Amino acid sequence: MHEPKAIRPDVFWIGVNDRETDLFEGVWPLPRGVSYNSYLICDEKVVLVDTVKDKSAVSYIRKIKELAGGRNVDYLVVNHMEPDHSGAIRQVRDEFPGVTIVGNAKTAKYLADFYGITDGIQVITDGETLCTGRHTLQFFLVPMVHWPETMVTYDQTDKILFSMDAFGGFGALDGGIFDDEVDIEYYEEEALRYFSNIVGKYSAMVQNAIAKLKGLEIRAIAPTHGPVWRKNPGKIVELYDRWSRHVAEPGVVLVYGSMYGNTERMMEAVARGITEAGCPTVRIHNVSRSHVSYIIRDAWRYKALVIGAPTYDTGIYPPMNHLLNLLESKKLKNRVAGLFGTFLWSGGGVKGMQEVIQKLGWDQVQPVIEARGAPTAEDLKNCMNLGRAVVARVRETCPG
């Protein structure tokens, strides 16, 4: 368990690591856990910024008491009401009587809905400030990043942006809490997996938030998950900007499903065509074995998505159908697509996949290959041609 760590002399990280929960929100795998970040400002007034999941409340309350040195907590700023960040609110109120909860009007509504709390709330408006002594906190509403009540808190004094879920990611914090003391490449990958699966649907709102905060001088970004960005806070903002504009890197994600090996043979031919065309970045996923969160992450990162699967019950192969439904829901844009598949007594799988690609408005590359039963030599040749054609389109539309 992490002990408190100073971000500034009177500003502390007091979060907790969760290495026991297997699925975030009951959906997304956490192979290396997740952190719930909370922050304490020990000023003339003691200010708590967000809390943690209720299961961690005992150790969390201990940290607050040790740092506060017997003083009461005066304010609890609630940037986001999701229970992994608001779960310990009741315990905080019990341990620190008279604490004032600071949030916007929607926060107040959700406090009543989740916890039956209707008193001791200071409702703030967009841009409002709160002076706590040395620090002046300013609140900015950023609705739908990714809940209606979401807001961020900016410390005008130390130039710290307490950004709630924005700019965060999966992964418990392994020893350090700052971007310059952890394996930042791992956390960037997990930040993308978090963004693409949870926040990506609200990309337009993310762009609005980035534009709104653009004029602030930011020396550190302190999110509610993942590392605190102090060495290069602009890096995670730049990544969020790219991801929310659906800007892709050159590369191909090849996703397939196969019941008896026939579609897998076609996938291998497509992969050979991709590599022979000189594309070194290809990520292959068996849609029945890779969790969709990793496939969506890669689809968000790379320009092309090539999908292949057999027809199943005259329609799309169920695991592929699940993936495509999620991609459609998350509104991923500006991608190159390739299609292949198999059928025997009835088609429908490739047609169904094609309809989803058309709804998404992706740039579909020819040829589309649909083999009857086992793929013929001609089918496999066409699959190689599809791989080459996808790479050519990537080069046209994604320079570099």
Torsion of CA 51, 54, 59, 61, to 10 degrees: 50
Taking residues 24-46, what's their average pLDDT? 97
CATH of segment(s) 252-395:
3.40.50.360
Tokens 């017997």 correspond to 70
Whose tokens are 């971000």? That residue is: 7
pLDDT of amino acid 1: 46
pLDDT at residue 54, as a whole number: 83
Q: Are 340 and 273 in contact (CB under 8 A)?
A: no
- Which range has the worst mean pLDDT, 45-49, 127-131, 174-178? 174-178
Check whether 51 has a pLDDT greater than 80: yes
Each domain of the chain, given as residue ranges in start order, spans: 5-244, 252-395
Tens-digit pLDDT profile for residues 104-163: 999 999 999 999 999 999 999 999 999 999 999 999 999 999 999 999 999 999 999 999
**Buried residues in 249-285 as b, exposed as e (16+ CB within 10 A):** ebbbbbbbbbeeebbbbbbbbbbebbeebebebbbbb
User: What pLDDT was estimated at residue 129?
Assistant: 98
pLDDT digits (tens, 9 = 90+) for 177-198: 999 999 999 999 999 999 999 9
- The per-residue pLDDT for range 200-210, each reduced to its tens digit, is 999 999 999 99
Which listed CATH number (3.40.50.2000, 3.60.15.10, 3.90.1150.10, 3.30.479.10) goes with 5-244?
3.60.15.10
- Residue 211, φ and ψ in degrees, nearest 5: -65, -40
**Across all residues in the chain, what is the average pLDDT?**
96
What is the 8-class DSSP label of residue 202? Answer: G
| Residue-level pLDDT at 2 | 66
Side chain identity at residue 3, one-letter code: E
Whether 15 has a pLDDT exceeding 90, the answer reads yes
Predicted TM-score of the model (pTM): 0.95
pLDDT tier, 297 (very low <50, low <70, confident <90, very high otherwise) = very high
Whether pLDDT at 167 is above 50: yes
Alpha-carbon gap, residue 98 to 203, rounded angstroms: 38
Distance of CA 19 to the CA centre of its chain: 18
Q: Where are the alpha helices (DSSP H) in the chain?
A: 57-68, 83-86, 89-95, 105-115, 184-194, 203-213, 233-244, 262-276, 292-301, 318-330, 349-360, 377-397
With a pLDDT cut of 70, the percent of the chain lying above it is 99
